[in-house]
Amino acid sequence: MTLKRLLSAFAVIIIVWLVLPTLVIVPMSFNEASSFNFPPKGFSTRWYENFFTDPTWLKALFSSLQVALITMLVATAVGVLASLGLSKVRFRGKGLLEGYFLLPLIVPGIVLAVGLYSLFLRMNLLGTLPGFVLAHTVVSLPLVITNVMASLQGLDPKLEQASASLGAGRMRTFFSITLPLIAPGVTAGALFAFVTSFDEVILSLFIQSPSLQTLPVKIFNSVTQTNDPTVAAVAVITMVTSVIVMLTAQFASRKRKRVAA
């Protein structure tokens, strides 16, 4: 019992240690002074008002949402197809191929950024919407595949066989049987892809252009160049958005486990 209490106390300390630095930004975003002072001097919502009235911040937000939504659609479509192929086909070296799809989770982001920068430079994709979508899809795809593969592993193949025996084709079987059953995994993967793209900063820094900057890049530039306190308000908005999406993805994952059970 004592050991259990010690482990619980240690877990609480770790959680506080991880969360507290992030929560400090919340009171800083309501600081009345034009600085990042903590504790804040006075209370004001001027930095939130500045964010929603500044065209450059709103443009960066729109760019991030646009890139994240398109990346979510592309990564989800490709991830579902890849997961179906990996789950249906049996061949030598399948484990290596699955590991290859998960490489972006292992390789340091700076390595991917340098490689994609060199490739996009030759293909004239730097600072373009397709370039951002392709780059973000690379890092989002493994999360989609992981979630969809987990759903497919809990899928009873007899259901698809029964559908085929009743005369349904592969497409109809997929949309009528397979897709509804793996929908929680697909949803979770899509939401993870959205958050990954929305928060991505390393790749975005390498492939940005003056005409296309995502919100994380705008935040980074403001902190390093202008020291604009609006960053604190933007960080809170971004954090809340990411947390809401992640909680939704977590709910979808739990639903997937209940369906599999």
pLDDT tens profile 206-220: 888 878 888 888 888
User: Is residue 261 pLDDT above 70, yes or no?
Assistant: no
Q: What is the pLDDT of residue 36?
A: 67
Report the alpha-carbon distance of residue 138 to residue 249 in Å, rounded.
20
Most confident of 115-124, 131-140, 180-189, 230-239: 131-140
Q: What is the DSSP string of 3-60?
A: HHHHHHHHHHHHHHHHHHHHHTHHHHHTBSSSS--SS-SSB--HHHHHHHH-HHHHHH
pLDDT tens profile 93-145: 667 777 777 888 888 888 888 888 888 888 888 888 898 999 999 999 998 98
pTM for the predicted model, two decimal places:
0.80
Q: What is the pLDDT of residue 93?
A: 67
pLDDT band at 247 (very low <50, low <70, confident <90, very high): confident
User: Is residue 30 pLDDT above 60, yes or no?
Assistant: yes
Which CATH homologous superfamily contains domain 56-260?
Answer: MetI-like (1.10.3720.10)
Residues 185 and 147: beta-carbon distance below 8 Å: yes
Q: What is the pLDDT of residue 134?
A: 92
Higher pLDDT, 38 or 255: 38
Q: pLDDT above 70 covers what percent of the chain?
A: 88
Residues 88 and 149: beta-carbon distance below 8 Å: no
- For the chain, the domains span 56-260
Q: pLDDT above 90 covers what percent of the chain?
A: 8
Question: Mean per-residue pLDDT for 134-159?
Answer: 84
Q: Which of 25, 58, 62, 31 is nearest to 47 (CA)?
A: 31
pLDDT tens profile 39-86: 777 777 778 888 888 888 889 889 999 999 999 999 999 998 888 887
